[in-house]
Amino acid sequence: MSQIKNQIRYILPLWFVLLITNWLPDNRFSIRLRGILASPFFKKCGKRLELGRDLTFLNSNNIELGSDIYIAKGTWLNGLGGLIIEDEVVIAPYVAISTMQHVFKNDSVRFGGSIPGKVLIKKGTWLASHVSVKCGVTIGSGSIVGANAFVVKDIENNSIYGGVPAKFIKSNENREFSFSSAEEVLKNM
């Protein structure tokens, strides 16, 4: 009975909102409008949610979103095991976050079932495009995960990770951007 309630309260209305707004281009107005319309259909949602097109949310009743979050086009989020995304997180296009992991039974994954694991993405993090996040992982605040990385273990605060599996690259020094600092970086390459 609770599954039917979740379908009616969260999943179907969110699907409908995404369906009717997918024709809108991804610009400031439409990503904000899509976020406003979708925000009631999560377990918890802060202010100023911005959503791109072609998103997939599985079990949005277990997804908690903070304030000032941007989720770009084509992202796939599975909240069955519990997903918390804190404030000021940016998720680039085609990121996949799964809170479930398939297991084998009789040498086959097809009917083996799955096990849940909560995912926590802390404040101010940026997941670059095509990042995959495995269940049971915590990504520390102020961190950057490079494009195409696969996160299989916890990531420390204020750090940059990349690769498959994602490995520590360096600390995120959190510098303010300026054109002169960009020129300096290019000279040192």
Strands 144-145 and 159-162: what pairing?
Answer: parallel
Give the per-residue pLDDT at 183: 57
Both structure tokens of 65 = 């979103």
The predicted structure's pLDDT at residue 99: 94
pLDDT at residue 106, rounded to an integer: 86
DSSP H or E segment with residue 114: strand 114-116
Decide if 108 contacts 129 (C-beta within 8 A).
Answer: no
CATH superfamily membership of 2-187: Hexapeptide repeat proteins (2.160.10.10)
What pTM was estimated for this model as a whole?
A: 0.86
* Contact (Cβ atoms closer than 8 angstroms) between residue 71 and residue 50: yes
Look at the block and give the residue holding tokens 């992202």. Answer: 75
**What residues does each domain of the chain span?**
2-187
Q: Which residues pair with 83 in a beta bridge?
A: 63, 119
User: 176 in helix, strand or coil?
Assistant: coil
Round to whole Å and give the CA distance between 156 and 139: 7
CA distance 76 to 5: 23
List average pLDDT for each run of 10 residues in the chain, which is 189 residues long: 77 90 92 95 95 94 96 95 96 96 86 90 96 96 94 94 92 64 54
